[in-house]
Chain A
Amino acid sequence: MTPVKCYPSKPEKVYFFGTCLIDLFYPEAGLDGIRLLEREGIEVVFPEDQTCCGQPAYTSGYQQEARAVAAAQLELFPEPWPIVVPSGSCGGMMRTHYPQLFAGSEREAQAKGVADRVFELTEFLVHVCHLRLEDRGEPEKVAMHTSCGARREMGLADTGPALLAQLGQVELVEQARAAECCGFGGTFAVRHPEVSAAMVEDKTQAIEATGARRFVTSDCGCMMNISGRFAHQKKPVKGEHIASYLWRRTS
């Protein structure tokens, strides 16, 4: 349970931390996130030297390596602007674990300073931008998978659905056991592939059973996992990052 966060008023500028998965595999999702922010009149600064939040090393137990990578990211945000991250998992890493990683070190204050300014994209759109959306798309049923990072580490079960609820033509359907993990878990999927596979199989079945032919998520790890399973089975259900979905339907 994350403590209640006090949200700032809408700023003129924000930093955008795109995450490595988006950088490499889903860049459009990142760009659509930036477009959504810009449409709200916010100038988006994309620090060029960003790489990865360090989470893969962190969750694998490689603490020193994670700390080194995280330290490099801490340098990217010198101005006091909010840092928007289009991923609950990476956002959770930065908000929750950066202060732990640097506790007792000379970077402690810096890490805390960054952590306090980290917002997941849908959180920022809802609570800071108070975003109003006008749906221009066709009627559609859609399911949402909120990542465990967003849901539990950042306490953001509601922001994604709140945005989708503004889309007049979209019927948001809830799959069975919506709060259950899809089985990605970063290196978990590699270390325990069969267990992970059983989890994603259940998740795809639950989504398919809603009758939706599209699901959205705020995390590309989950999307890679769930979409990858659908594609492997040649099922017609497609995944999309919520940023792209919102941008596509409202522009």
Chain B
Amino acid sequence: MSVQSDSVQTHPVQTYSPREFHRQAHDALGNPQIRANFRKAMDGLMTKRRDSFGDWDLEILRELGANIRMRALARLPSLLERLEANCQANGIQVHWAEDGDQACRIIRELCEARGAKAVIKGKSMVSEEMHLNARLEEAGIEALESDLGEYLVQLNEQTPSHIIMPAIHLNTDEISEIMHDRTGIERTRDVDTMTAAARAQLRERFMAADVGISGVNFAVAETGTLCLVENEGNGRMTTTVPPVHIAVTGIEKVVEHLRDVPPLYALLTRSATGQHVTTYFNMISGPRKPEEHDGPKEVHLVLVDSGRSAIYQDDELLDTLRCIRCGACMNHCPVYTRVGGHTYGTTYPGPIGSILSPHLMGLEDTKDLPTASSLCGACGEVCPVKIPIPDLLVRLRRESVGEGRGNVPGAGVKRSRKEAAAWKGFQWLATHPGVWRAGTSMAGKFRALTPSRLGAWTDYRSAPKPAGTTLHALVKQHEAKRHQADKAAEEKRP
């Protein structure tokens, strides 16, 4: 879809909340630009993923990926201790944070102690999760995103709409308008021109930055190594140019061995963007040594819990923590494709967001997310570490109506006496077959009386009408006929 530049409106600055899922979905569905941008992007990503696994035995690779992540989780506490010890031995300082606020405080204090005024950031979803940029701004520290997509989204005063492609909701014309508006460059449809402009703008900022903040894709316990996956080189810049590098990550990102990394990396890039490899794979095992000439003089690792250790307690929910943040589940999700990332109102949108956000934010705020799925199974089918996402969505639905184990914050928030009674009624009918048959047969007899309007269903579809007879009745007639035929055949015989 192409729109003339002069008619493009950048999206008004807007905040999104998971509480407003329905309204936000309504708005997104009514916005043809958003619909077209996501559809085009997701179609492309799905095709690229499929093609990229061509040479591989994908099922065996996924099995290995799941297995590596399960092994890491099985040994999680001891691996974290080992990671800490090996990082420290390498000269990386390790910090622990119970939640996002504590992590923000640790990072802010590290910045303040070094008199830092300007922070440059590589892409980090954990930092989005804890609203780090806003916390730093409050302390008078400017935090600038350097991943191109994140940079554009930040210029537009938005949050990412996708965990891998933060600006996927914007098209070229919208981006041109944003760059023109916020950085003063000429409007252009030429992507190379815009990219070059961003390069020049950000290079200045890399040189001036006091601290670089990045995420972590895999933290290797065995060697005390932080791995970063990227294409742009901003991750390398962020972790090499400023004198201080702070890496922030969830506690679940640890893996046991270095040899666990190649399979996960192979799965991550192919699942995320259909690339057989990214441009850069950056493995950091310490700050600059005395004899070295570049690299940060300090490296810090901030390990954030923020609800993860609670997820860890439950055998079923635990699978959520296997995630390697590739975004394939959202790329393949028919709901995400229709409503886009912002509609979810959470840092992690799409299917993984719907099974993760309730733990991070509580079910009170996120109760509409687990139901925002037709359970079509596309997410589970493509997950590179085989997280049973549909089953976990159902588990969270159970928790929301108070029929789970009660160990998700806000469990039972959706319990309504009316709905519970309705399902008890369904149970009673479905376990009393005589009454069920009488009821269904009655429904058929009075089909003329069935309403032609059934709430939202009939806003878009014709109402289904019960058939005149039930299958139960048809089978009876069918069997009677057959019986008669058999009898007739028998009588004809001498």
* Residues of chain A lying within 8 A (CB to CB) of residue B456: 189-190, 193-194, 197
Q: How far is the CA of A225 from the CA of B474 in the complex (A)?
A: 24
**Cβ distance A110 to chain B, nearest Cβ, rounded Å:** 16
Q: Chain A at the B interface: mostly helix, strand, loop or mixed?
A: helix
* Residues of chain B lying within 8 A (CB to CB) of residue A116: none
Digitize B436-472: 1 where CB-to-A-CB distance is under 8 Å, 0 elsewhere.
1100100110000000000111111111111101111
* Residues of chain A lying within 8 A (CB to CB) of residue B371: 187-188, 191-192
Is A63 within 8 A of B398, CB to CB? yes
Q: How far is the CA of A48 from the CA of B474 in the complex (A)?
A: 12
Say yes or no: is A172 at the interface (Cβ < 8 Å to chain B): no
User: Which residue from chain B places its CB closest to the CB of A35 in the assembled complex?
Assistant: B478
Q: Which residues of chain A (55-94) have a CB below 8 Å from chain B?
A: 56-65, 68-69, 71-72
Which of B5-13, B160-168, B190-198, B419-427 is found at the contact surface with chain A?
B419-427
Say yes or no: is A196 at the interface (Cβ < 8 Å to chain B): yes
Say yes or no: is A232 at the interface (Cβ < 8 Å to chain B): yes
Which of A7-15, A17-25, A125-133, A208-216 is found at the contact surface with chain B?
A17-25
* Residues of chain B lying within 8 A (CB to CB) of residue A71: 431
Is B374 within 8 A of A188, CB to CB? yes
User: Which residue from chain A places its CB closest to the CB of B477 in the assembled complex?
Assistant: A31
* Residues of chain A lying within 8 A (CB to CB) of residue B400: 61
Q: Which residues of chain B (41-59) have a CB below 8 Å from chain A?
A: 43, 59
* Residues of chain B lying within 8 A (CB to CB) of residue A181: 334, 374, 376, 378
Say yes or no: is A141 at the interface (Cβ < 8 Å to chain B): no
**Cβ distance B238 to chain A, nearest Cβ, rounded Å:** 37
Say yes or no: is A199 at the interface (Cβ < 8 Å to chain B): yes
Is B474 within 8 A of A31, CB to CB? yes
Digitize B278-321: 1 where CB-to-A-CB distance is under 8 Å, 0 elsewhere.
00000000000000000000000000000000000000000000
Say yes or no: is A224 at the interface (Cβ < 8 Å to chain B): yes
Is A50 within 8 A of B460, CB to CB? no
Q: How far is the CA of A110 from the CA of B440 in the complex (A)?
A: 28
* Residues of chain A lying within 8 A (CB to CB) of residue B181: none
Known contacts A28-B467, A195-B335; A59/B460 CB under 8 A: no
Known contacts A23-B471, A30-B471; A195/B423 CB under 8 A: no
Q: Which of A152, A185, A187, A190 is B380 in contact with, Cβ under 8 Å?
A: A152
Say yes or no: is A124 at the interface (Cβ < 8 Å to chain B): no
Q: How far is the CA of A190 from the CA of B460 in the complex (A)?
A: 12
* Residue count of chain B within 8 Å CB distance of chain A: 68
Is A31 within 8 A of B426, CB to CB? no
Q: Which residues of chain B (328-383) have a CB below 8 Å from chain A?
A: 334-335, 338-339, 371-378, 380-381
**Cβ distance B328 to chain A, nearest Cβ, rounded Å:** 14
User: Which residue from chain A places its CB closest to the CB of B479 in the assembled complex?
Assistant: A46
**Cβ distance A153 to chain B, nearest Cβ, rounded Å:** 6
Q: How far is the CA of A58 from the CA of B427 in the complex (A)?
A: 11
Q: Which of B35, B59, B397, B467 is A24 in contact with, Cβ under 8 Å?
A: B467
Say yes or no: is B141 at the interface (Cβ < 8 Å to chain A): no
Say yes or no: is B401 at the interface (Cβ < 8 Å to chain A): yes
Known contacts A59-B375, A183-B374, A185-B373; A228/B465 CB under 8 A: no
* Residues of chain A lying within 8 A (CB to CB) of residue B35: 198
Say yes or no: is A102 at the interface (Cβ < 8 Å to chain B): no
Say yes or no: is A201 at the interface (Cβ < 8 Å to chain B): yes
Known contacts A61-B394, A188-B375; A27/B467 CB under 8 A: yes
**Cβ distance A102 to chain B, nearest Cβ, rounded Å:** 15
Known contacts A195-B25, A195-B339, A231-B461; A72/B376 CB under 8 A: no
Known contacts A51-B430, A60-B401; A190/B457 CB under 8 A: yes
* Residues of chain A lying within 8 A (CB to CB) of residue B489: none
* Residues of chain A lying within 8 A (CB to CB) of residue B479: 46
**Cβ distance A185 to chain B, nearest Cβ, rounded Å:** 3
Q: Which of A23, A68, A179, A199 is B440 in contact with, Cβ under 8 Å?
A: A23
* Residues of chain A lying within 8 A (CB to CB) of residue B464: 25, 224, 228
Q: Which of A51, A54, A192 is B433 in contact with, Cβ under 8 Å?
A: A51
Q: Which of B29, B399, B457, B471 is A22 in contact with, Cβ under 8 Å?
A: B471
**Cβ distance A186 to chain B, nearest Cβ, rounded Å:** 8
Q: How far is the CA of A177 from the CA of B460 in the complex (A)?
A: 21
Known contacts A23-B471, A185-B373; A190/B455 CB under 8 A: yes
Say yes or no: is B137 at the interface (Cβ < 8 Å to chain A): no
Known contacts A63-B398, A199-B374; A232/B431 CB under 8 A: no
Q: How far is the CA of A231 from the CA of B464 in the complex (A)?
A: 10
* Residues of chain B lying within 8 A (CB to CB) of residue A56: 426
User: Which residue from chain B places its CB closest to the CB of A16 in the assembled complex?
Assistant: B475
* Residues of chain B lying within 8 A (CB to CB) of residue A189: 374, 456-457
Say yes or no: is A52 at the interface (Cβ < 8 Å to chain B): yes
7 closest pairs, A vs B, by CB? A185-B374, A193-B456, A228-B461, A61-B397, A181-B376, A152-B377, A49-B433
Tell me the A residues contacting B by CB distance below 8 Å.
Answer: 1, 18, 20, 22-28, 30-31, 34, 46, 48-52, 54, 56-65, 68-69, 71-72, 100, 148, 151-153, 177, 179-181, 183-201, 224-225, 227-229, 231-232
Known: A199-B335, A227-B462. 5 other contacts (CB 8 A): A24-B467, A28-B467, A46-B475, A46-B479, A177-B43
